[in-house]
Structure 1
Amino acid sequence: MIRARVLGAGVAGLCVAAELAGRGCDVTVFDPSPRPGPHGCSWWAGGMLAPFCEGETADEPVVRLGRQAADWWARQGVTVTRQGTIVLTLNRDRRELDRFARRVPQHARLDAAGLAALEPDLDGRFDRALHVAGEAHLDPRGALAHLRDRLEQDGVTFVTETGDAQGLTFDCRGLAARDHLPDLRGVKGEMAVLRSRDIHLNRPVRLLHPRFPLYVVPRADGLFMLGATQIESDNRKPGVRSVLELLSAAYALHPAFGEAELVEIGADARPAFPDNLPRISRQGDTIHVNGLFRHGFLLAPALAQMAVGMACDDIKPEFWHED
C-alpha cells in the first residue's frame, strides 16, 4: 500500500487526497487549521463550474479539462446544480456581449422572452442575453466541508502538525509553497455575499462590463455571492473601490440588490504562475500541485488525477513542469 501525505487542505489538497484514497492509499493530510474556513483561498471561491465562459480568456486546457469537473464533484456526493450560465450586458455595452459570443461558441442566444422564461425575476430588464447550458455551479464552502467529512469517513487522517514524516508528499499549499516555487504570484480576488428575499436566480449570471465585470452566484437561503475582481497583488484585504464597483454592478443587474443585506465581504490571493496555468512538478519525494489561479474548483479534480496518476502509474501529466 502506498503511504502518502498531503500538505494543505484547500480544494487542491482535498482533491488529491480523494484521488489517493480512491486508489486505496494510506493518506495523511496536514493543515494548520482543523476545518475549512476563511484562512484558505478556496473559502472565497465562487463555485462556478463554467469551463466555456472561462474560455473567453483562458487557454484550451481549462475548457477541455474543466468539462470534467461537475461530474467529478457529483461523484463525491457534492450537490451540483446544472442550470448553465446566463451572460448579460447593459444596453450601452452591447458590443461586449457580441465579443463574448464570438469567443464562447457554446451558447444559445436569448431574446427578452427567452431570458424571462429562464430567469423570471429578470423579466423586462434585458432584451437579449446568452445561455451557456453546459455549465454548473456548487457551494464551495459546503463542498469543502462535505469532501473533508467524507475523506475522514474513508479513513484519511487529518492532522495540524507536519511532524518529521518522510516519504511521498503532495505539496498543495498554494502561495505558502513559494519557499519551493519562487515564480508563484498572488492574484487577489474580492467578493461580497448578499441576502435578498426579493430576487430569485436559478443559475449564475455574468454581467459583462468593460471596467468591472460581475458574476452573481445564487446560494441557499436567499444568499448571493458577488465576485469577479482580479488584481495583481498578494494583499488579502478587500479594497473599497473594488467592493463599491461590485455592489454598483449588482444594483445595475437588479435594483432589489440595493435593498439586500450585506452579509460578508472578503478577499484572498490566489496562487498563479506567469502563464496562469497550473503546474505539477517534482522535487525529490515531493510532488508540487499548484497554480490553480481562478480555476480552483474547475481544474483541481483533473490536476489531482494527473498528480496521482504520475505517482501511482508513472504517467507524465499534461501540466508537468521541469524545475
Structure 2
Amino acid sequence: MRVLVQGAGVAGLTAAFELAARGAAVTVVETRHGLGGNASWFAGGMLAPWCERESAEQPVLDLGRDAADWWDTATPGQVTRAGTLVVAAPRDAGELDRFANRTSGYRPVDENEIAQLEPDLAGRFRRALFFPDEAHLDPRQAMAALHDRLAAMGVEFRFGADARQISGFDRQLDCTGMSAVDARLRGVRGEMLILRTPDVSLSRPVRLLHPRFPLYVVPRTDHRFMVGATMIESQSTGPVTARSMMELVVAAYALHPAFDEAEIVETGVGVRPAFPDNLPRVETSGDTVAINGLYRHGFLLAPAMARQAAELVFNQDRTKELAHETVGQRRSA
C-alpha cells in the first residue's frame, strides 16, 4: 500500500513509522524545507501522563502511558527516564495539595529527598511530589533521530513540496495541524525560552507550581534548559511578548536564583491545534485519515494516535478488499 503522509511534525513522523512498520510504502510531504519551525519544534518533550492528568482528561493518561516505551523503541537512546519533580514555594503549599489531589503515580518527598534527587534545589523547597515513572526527551533530537530511522526504513521525504500536486497514492494521512481545514480547531499559543547557565544542574523536568504562572524547566544538553508554560488562546505566531518573557524569567528565578544570570539562547512560539474538549482525534474522510488536536500533548499522545491511524488505514484497505471479493462472488454466482 502506498501512503502519503502530509506533515513532518511529531504526528506525521510517528504515523509514518507505524505505517512503514506495517509494510506500507510511505512518502512524507512537508511544505517547510526541512524539519523544524512547527509546534513540535518548540515542545517541552515531557512524557508525563500522570502530571498532565492535573489539567487533562483521563484519556490523556490512558493514551500516554506507553509513550516512553514507544519512543525508546523508535529512537533508541533519546529517552531519559528520571521521573518528574513537582515543587512549590512554602506559601504556595495549597497548590501542591491541589496538584496531588488531581493526579496519581507520585510519592510525596520531603526536603531531604528533594536534595537527593536534585542537589541544586537543596534547601529551597520543603515538600514536593515525585513521579518516578515519567520521562522526557529533547524534541529536536528525537525528531531528527526518527527522521533518520524512517529514511533507513525506506520512507521517502519531500520537503518544500505541496501535497496537492502529488498523486498516485492509495491513502493519505493528514497530519498538518493548524494548517488543516477544520472549523472545530482553535490555536493555543505556547511560548518558551531556552536558557543556558553552568550554575544549575537538573536531572529531570521540574515543575514549579504558582497560582498565576506555573512553570516547567526541562534540562537539555550543554547546560541548557527549556523553560515554558504559557497557554494563550491565540493563533498568533508572533514573537514572545515582553510580559511572557518577564513571567517565565521571574518564575525560573524563583526555582533557582542562578537563572537570573542565565543567557537567553532562544525564544520560540508554537501554536498547538486543539479541539473544543482538548482531546485528539483520528478521523476518516474518503481515502484520507486525519490526526489532529494533539494540543499540548504532542510527543506524549502522538504514538497512540499514530497506532490508531495506521490500524484504521489498513482496516479500511481490508474492508475494501472484502467488499470487492463479496461483489466478485455474487457475480460468479
TM-score by length of 1: 0.94
- Say which SS state the counterpart of residue 287 (structure 1) adopts: strand
> Of residues 167, 172, 177 in structure 2, which corresponds to 1:169?
172
CA contact (8 A) 1:188 1:232 kept: yes
**1:314 to partner: Cα distance:** 4.8
Taking the TM superposition and a 5 Å limit, the aligned residue runs for 1:150-299 are 150-160=149-159, 161=161, 162=163, 163-166=165-168, 167-177=170-180, 179=181, 181-237=182-238, 238-299=240-301
Identical residues among aligned pairs (%): 56
Please identify the structure whose Cα radius of gyration is greater.
Answer: 2
CA offset digits 1:274-307 (Å, max 9, x no partner): 1100011111111111000000000000000001
Corresponding residue number in structure 2 for 1:98: 97
What SS does the aligned partner of 1:225 have? Answer: strand
Correspondence 1:143 to 2:119: no
Shift of 1:186: 0.3
Please state how far the C-alpha of 1:105 moved relative to its aligned partner: 2.4
Q: Find the counterpart in structure 2 of residue 120 from structure 1.
A: 119
For the aligned residue pairs, the C-alpha RMSD in angstroms reads 1.1
Partner of 1:49: 47
C-alpha contact 1:196 1:222 (8 A) present in aligned 2: yes
Q: 2:31 matched to which residue of 1?
A: 32
1-structure distance, mates of 2:10, 2:104 = 29
What is the Cα deviation at residue 91 of structure 1? Answer: 1.6
* Paired position in structure 2 for 1:63: 61
Corresponding residue number in structure 2 for 1:73: 71
Write the deviation string for residues 31-76 of structure 1: whole angstroms up to 9, x where unpaired: 0223212x21100000000000000011111001101100000001
User: Aligned partners of 1:66, 1:105: CA distance in 2, in Å?
Assistant: 14
Q: How far apart, in 2, do the equivalents of 1:26 and 1:275 lie?
A: 34
Q: In the aligned structure 2, how far is the partner of 1:215 from the partner of 1:262?
A: 16
In structure 2, C-alpha distance between the alignment counterparts of 1:278 and 1:217, rounded to whole Å: 24
1:304 matched residue in structure 2: 306
Which amino acid counterpart does residue 9 of structure 2 have in structure 1? G
- Letter of the aligned partner of 1:252 in structure 2? A
Q: Which runs of 4+ in 1 moved over 6 A?
A: none
Q: Are the equivalent residues in 2 in contact too, given 1:193–1:223 (CA < 8 A)?
A: yes
Once the 2 structures are TM-superposed, how far is the Cα of residue 313 of structure 1 from its aligned partner?
Answer: 2.9
Amino acid at match of 1:185: R
State the distance in 1 between where 2:307 and 2:9 align.
Answer: 16
- Residue type of the partner of 2:208? L
Once residues 201 and 166 of structure 2 are traced to their aligned partners in structure 1, the CA distance between those partners, rounded to angstroms, is 51
- Look up the equivalent residue of 1:254 and give its one-letter code: H
CA contact (8 A) 1:235 1:268 kept: no
Conservation of the 8 A alpha-carbon contact between 1:86 and 1:132: yes
Read off the aligned partner of 2:209 and give its amino acid letter. L
**Once the 2 structures are TM-superposed, how far is the Cα of residue 101 of structure 1 from its aligned partner?**
0.8
Aligned to 1:5: 4
- Unaligned 5+ runs, structure 1: 316-323
**Amino acid in structure 2 at the alignment position of 1:52:** W
Deviates more, 1:152-161 or 1:250-259: 152-161
Say which is worse superposed, 158-167 or 255-264, in terms of deviation.
158-167
Match of 2:18, SS? helix
Q: Which amino acid in structure 1 is aligned with residue 71 of structure 2? A: W
TM superposition shift of 1:5 = 0.4
Matched residue SS, 1:169: strand
CA shift for structure 1 position 164: 3.2
Q: What are structure 2's unaligned runs of at least 5 residues?
A: 318-333
Residue equivalent to 1:319 = none
More helix by share: 2
